[in-house]
Chains A and B, each alone.
Chain A
C-alpha cells in the first residue's frame, strides 16, 4: 500500500457467505482498530513449497501477513514528546509533518517513524541537532526486503539513540524494487558509511550521496544481492537414487 491509500484486501476464496469467516459471527471477532497494518505478504497453504500435490488438506489456507499498523495518539510516555518535537521542528523548516512522516507505529514499547525517503536527510539532521531530540548515535542501517509489499519492497531501518535523553527510536524508509534509491545520511551520521555499504551489498539499496558506495563484505565482483528474499540459494544438488536435495528455500517448510 502506498502513501496512505487504504490497504487493498487480498482476494479471498469466494464462496457462500456462511463459509466466509469474515461474514460469520462477526460480533465475536475483535473490532479492528485504526490502521489494520502493512500487508507484506499473502501466504497460501501451510508448507511453502508448491511442487507436488497437496494431500495435507491445508492447501486452501490463505493467510495475510500484516506488520503492525499506524498507532493513533496518544503514544504514551516520552513518545508523544518526541513526536511533538519532531513535528514542530519539521514545521519550522517549512515541511508538512504529514508529508514527511508517513506513519507512526508504536509496537512492543518501541516507537517507529516511517519517513518519506526524500525527506530522510532533513529529518535525520533535525533528530540529531534539535536540543529536545538529540539523537547523537545512529546504530547503523538494517535492510529488510518485503517482496510482497507492492511499491515498498525495500526497507531501510535506522535505530537512533539519544544518550542525552536516554531514548531510542526507529526510523524506517522504503523504496520500490524498481527504483531502489534512498538518500545517504553519511554526512549526518558518518558511522553509517560502512553500514550503508553493507546494506547496499546485501539488498542493492542505493544510498544516493554516499562517498563510495561499493561492496564491503561480499567480493567486489559478486553478482546479485544475497539478502534479498528472491535471491536464489542454489544449494548443492546431492543426488541420491535419482532424487535431488533442494536448496533451503525450495524445501517444504512451515510458512
Chain B
C-alpha cells in the first residue's frame, strides 16, 4: 500500500468524511469522529443478511440516536429470474418462480400458474382436487412464512426463544412439504393446469397429526410474546404506518390489515375456490409492529382452520387438466431407483405407442403454445398482494413475466416507518415488514 493514502478506514470526500468500518482501528475511528462536533452521521447497515430476510443494505442518517433519513439499498440478490423465464418453456417457468420469494414458494407457483391458465383459458378446467391441494399447500406455506417472520423478528430483538419455537414449528411444515413434493423448498410442484403429481399415501394422516400439534403449539406464541411487557414495549407504536400511508405506498398484507382495512384477495377476488372455505380476515387498528404481529398470529390460526377444511375435502380425482396438449404426459411414480416416470408409462411410450412417444417428446422438449395476449393474476401471499403480469406472443415460452412482489412494494415503506425514530427501532420496523430479498430482487 502506498504511504500517500489516508489512514485505513477514513476517507475525505466531497460529501464529508467517510469512515470505513471494515478494517482500521475502532478507537482511532471513534476518536476521529469525536473531534468534530457534528452529531450527524450516515451509517451503512449492511449489506448483510439480517436473519433470513436476505441481503439488505440500510442507509441511515442519524443524529445521535435518532434516524433522520432512511433509505434502502437493494439488488444484492438479483438473479435475473424474469429474464431467464423468457428462455424456458411455460412449464419450466415454475422452477424459476418458486425461487423468487423462497419463503413462499407455493404462492409464487400458484400466482404464475393462475396467470398462465388465464392466458390458456383453462381456469375452470383445473380439477377440484388440484385446487384443494393448492389451497392446502398455500395455507401451510402461510403458516411457515409467518412463523419465520415471527421467529426472525423475535431473534432480532434478542428473544431467541421465540426464534427457536418458530423454527421448530416451521420444521413441521417443511416436513409436510417434503412428504408431499419431495423437497423442503423450491418445489416446482404446482404446474400450469394442476399439479406435477398427486399427494403420496399417508399425507392425510400426517396432516391430521400436524394440525393436532399446531393446535397445541400456536398458543405458546401467545403465552410467550403477546402479553409480554418487554415484547410489547419494543413493538408498540414502532413502525407506524396508517391506512393513508399504506394506500399511498401500496402496502398490502399484514401491514394493511394492521391499519384496520380487512382487505384480503382470498375474500375480495377469490381464486382456487377460496370463496368456499370458512375463515376470517383478522385486523387490528394499531398501525404498528405489535399489530402486525397480532395479525400474523391470528392469520396462522385461520390458516389452520382452512387446512382442516382442505383435509376433509380431499376427494380422489385427477390433479391435472384433461387436455393432453397441456397436461404433462407422465405421472411420476416411485421406483427402486427413486422418483421418476412410471414404468407403465415408459412401457407404453417405448414399447407400444409411437404416437405417445412423439407426444411425450414434443410436450417435454417443446412445450405447449399459449395464445397471444396478456393477463394479470394475483394471490394473497403472506406478505400481501403477489401479482403476476404474464405476456404471451403465442409461443412455447413466456414473452414477459413480471412479478409484483409484495416485499418489494412493502419495503418502500421502511423510510416512512423509521424516520424520526430510534436506530434500534429500525430493526423492529423492518422485521414487521417481513421483506424477503429473494422476492424483492428476483
Residues of A within 8 A of B (CB): 37, 40-41, 63, 65-68, 107-110, 112, 136-140, 142-145, 157, 159, 161, 163, 166, 168, 170, 189-195, 198, 202, 215-219, 226-227, 233, 248-249, 253-255
- Smallest CB gap from A251: residue in B: B87
CB-based contact A137/B375 at 8 Å: no
Task: Collect the chain A residues with CB atoms within 8 Å of residue B268's CB.
Answer: 163, 166
Once A159-B389, A159-B404, A216-B74 are accepted as A-B contacts, the answer to whether A227 and B83 lie under 8 Å apart by CB is yes
Please give 10 more A-B residue pairs, beta carbons under 8 A apart, in addition to A163-B263, A216-B74. Answer: A40-B372, A66-B372, A67-B373, A108-B118, A139-B409, A157-B389, A166-B268, A195-B408, A216-B75, A254-B366
Task: Collect the chain A residues with CB atoms within 8 Å of residue B261's CB.
Answer: 163
Task: Collect the chain A residues with CB atoms within 8 Å of residue B411's CB.
Answer: 194
Once A108-B375, A163-B268 are accepted as A-B contacts, the answer to whether A139 and B385 lie under 8 Å apart by CB is yes
Task: Collect the chain B residues with CB atoms within 8 Å of residue A191's CB.
Answer: 248-251, 409, 412
Judged by a CB distance under 8 angstroms, whether B194 is at the interface is: no
Judged by a CB distance under 8 angstroms, whether B175 is at the interface is: no
Most buried by A among B252, B391, B393, B441: B393
Complex CA gap A101/B39 in Å reads 54
CB-based contact A41/B263 at 8 Å: no
Task: Collect the chain A residues with CB atoms within 8 Å of residue B46's CB.
Answer: none
Complex CA gap A254/B376 in Å reads 25
Q: How far is the CB of B357 from chain A (nearest CB, A)?
A: 19
Provide the B383-400 mask, 1 if CB < 8 A to any CB of A, else 0.
Answer: 001010101011111011
CB-based contact A139/B118 at 8 Å: no
Complex CA gap A192/B404 in Å reads 11
- Smallest CB gap from B393: residue in A: A65
Provide the B77-90 mask, 1 if CB < 8 A to any CB of A, else 0.
Answer: 01010110001000
Interface residues of B in 205-226 (CB under 8 A from A): none
Task: Collect the chain B residues with CB atoms within 8 Å of residue A194's CB.
Answer: 408-409, 411-412
Judged by a CB distance under 8 angstroms, whether B30 is at the interface is: no
- Smallest CB gap from A219: residue in B: B75
Judged by a CB distance under 8 angstroms, whether B233 is at the interface is: no
Judged by a CB distance under 8 angstroms, whether B242 is at the interface is: no
Judged by a CB distance under 8 angstroms, whether B247 is at the interface is: yes
Which listed residue (B249, B366, B373, B404) contacts A142, Cβ 8 A?
Answer: B404
Complex CA gap A192/B269 in Å reads 23
Once A108-B119, A166-B268, A226-B83 are accepted as A-B contacts, the answer to whether A159 and B374 lie under 8 Å apart by CB is no
- Smallest CB gap from A247: residue in B: B87
Task: Collect the chain B residues with CB atoms within 8 Å of residue A195's CB.
Answer: 404, 408-409
Complex CA gap A159/B377 in Å reads 10
Complex CA gap A37/B387 in Å reads 25
Once A65-B394, A67-B372 are accepted as A-B contacts, the answer to whether A249 and B250 lie under 8 Å apart by CB is no
CB-based contact B412/A142 at 8 Å: no
Complex CA gap A135/B28 in Å reads 56
Q: What are 11 A-B contacts with C-beta separation under 8 Å? A: A65-B394, A67-B372, A136-B247, A142-B389, A144-B399, A170-B376, A191-B248, A191-B412, A227-B82, A254-B396, A255-B395
Judged by a CB distance under 8 angstroms, whether B200 is at the interface is: no
Complex CA gap A101/B379 in Å reads 29
CB-based contact B248/A189 at 8 Å: yes
CB-based contact A217/B404 at 8 Å: no
Task: Collect the chain A residues with CB atoms within 8 Å of residue B408's CB.
Answer: 194-195, 198
CB-based contact B87/A249 at 8 Å: yes
Task: Collect the chain B residues with CB atoms within 8 Å of residue A198's CB.
Answer: 408
Task: Collect the chain B residues with CB atoms within 8 Å of residue A226's CB.
Answer: 80, 83
CB-based contact A110/B375 at 8 Å: yes
Task: Collect the chain B residues with CB atoms within 8 Å of residue A143's CB.
Answer: 402
